[in-house]
Amino acid sequence: MTAEDYKNGQLVLIDKPLTWTSFQVVNKIRWEIRQRYALKKIKVGHAGTLDPLATGLLILCVGKLTKQIDQYQAQEKEYTGIIRVGGTTPTYDLESEVDQHFPTAHLTPELILETTRKFTGEIAQKPPIFSALKKEGKRLYELARAGEKVEVPSRKVTISTFEITDINLPNIAFRVVCSKGTYIRSLAYDFGKALQSGAHLSALRRTKIGDFSVANAMSVDAFIAQLQEGGSVDY
Q: What is the pLDDT of residue 14?
A: 98
CATH number at residue 125: 3.30.2350.10
- Nearest-CA neighbor of 206 among 72, 96, 95, 33? 72
Look at the chain and report how many structural domains it folds into. Answer: 2
Does residue 197 sit in the same domain as residue 84? yes
50 pLDDT higher than 70: yes
pLDDT of 203: 98
Residues 166 and 156 in one domain: yes
What would the mean pLDDT of 100-128 be, rounded to a whole number? 96
- To 10 degrees, what angle do helices 184-194 and 109-116 make? 130
Classify residue 204: in a domain, yes or no: yes
98 residue type, one letter: V
Residue 141 has pLDDT above 80, yes or no: no
Q: Are residues 217 and 198 in the same domain?
A: no
HSE (side-chain half, CA atoms, 13 Å) at 87: 15
pLDDT above 60 (res 122)? yes
Residue 213 CB: number of other CB atoms within 10 A? 15
Q: Does residue 235 belong to any structural domain of this protein?
A: no
Residue 208 makes CB contacts below 8 A (sequence gap 6+) with 57, 76, 77, 78, 177, 214
113 lies in some domain: yes
Answer yes or no: do 13 and 103 share one domain. no
Distance separating alpha carbons of residues 118 and 88, to the nearest angstrom: 20
Q: Is residue 10 located within the same domain as residue 81?
A: no
Residue 92 and residue 44 share a domain:
no
Q: Are residues 23 and 107 in the same domain?
A: no
Are 173 and 119 part of one and the same domain? yes
Q: Which of 188, 118, 124 is nearest to 153 (CA)?
A: 124
Strand ranges in the chain using DSSP code E only, listed in sequence order: 10-16, 44-46, 54-62, 77-85, 87-88, 100-101, 121-125, 134-135, 138-139, 155-168, 171-178, 199-209, 212-213
For the chain, give the number of residues. 235
Tell me what the mean pLDDT of segment 206-215 comes to.
Answer: 98
The active-site residue, picked from 51, 70, 166, 190, is 51
Q: Which domain holds residue 98?
A: 77-209
Whether residue 51 lies in the annotated active site = yes
Residue 223 belongs to some domain of the structure: yes
One domain, residues 223 and 161: no
More reliable by pLDDT, 153 or 96: 96
pLDDT of residue 22: 95
Pair 63, 88 in one domain: no
Q: What percent of the chain has pLDDT over 70?
A: 89
234 is a domain residue: no
Same domain, yes or no: 97 and 204: yes
Pairing of the two strands 134-135 and 121-125: unpaired
Q: Are residues 150 and 53 in the same domain?
A: no
